[in-house]
Amino acid sequence: MKLIAGLGNPGPRYADSRHNVGFRVVDELARRWAVDVSRYDRHFEGLVGEAHRSGQPVLLLKPATYMNLSGQSVAAVWRYYRLGTADLLVVMDDLDLPLGHLRLRAGGSAGGHKGMEDVIRHLGTQDVPRLRIGISKVDRSATVEYVLSTFTAEERPVIEAAIGRAADAAECWLARGIEAAMNEFNRRASGDADLQAASQGD
């Protein structure tokens, strides 16, 4: 069993916010796999969908606990299925990455992300694979308002493309593991950044 948990806030009020790109990646995977991820499971405190991919069962999870309590839901699934940390991929937004850039890591600190902090606290380890999606940096004093805001018309094509690439990265993780996904998608992101910098310098 593998678990892909997208972090976000439940309800239509937050559906298109920057903080909900994790949910949107899970929705994209559900669309690709023709899986219903709208069923609420009260034991897991989240919306779940089940699939069979890369020769193994996969559970998609959207915690309904609100972002700062994401760990309650993730840990409930993780413990119920007796998963190892390598069986879990957390998908989340990241203020410290440029808009639309991806970064996979096998573990590490939460980097100030409250949802990831709660996941780490509930699992009792920082060795949690995660896929971060850049939503662009803002002054820390305006963080709350910014992450709950929607993307501008100019930003939407960039984030839509990033959500598709993030779903590709999650599928790579399922099929080949975190190291392979890091090698492919982190390198691609660096290359994209170099190309973007070069074009701006022309």
Computed from CA positions of residues 126, 2, 96, 68, in that sequence, does the dihedral angle turn out positive or negative? negative
Is the Cβ–Cβ distance between 170 and 89 less than 8 Å? yes
List phi, psi (to 5°) of 111.
Answer: 65, 30
Sequence-separated (6 or more) residues with CB below 8 Å from residue 1: 56, 57, 58, 59, 81, 83, 87
Tell me, yes or no, if 43 is annotated catalytic: no
The runs of H, that is alpha helices, within 85-134 are 114-123
User: Which residues on neighbouring strands pair with residue 94, listed in sequence order?
Assistant: 134
Strand (E) or helix (H) holding 134: strand 130-134
DSSP string, 44-98: TTEEEEEEEETTEEEEEEEESS-GGGHHHHHHHHHHHTT--GGGEEEEEEETTS-
Please pick, among 19, 101, 113, 122, the residue that the annotation labels catalytic: 19
Place of tokens 């916010």: 17
Indicate which residues carry an active-site annotation. Answer: 19
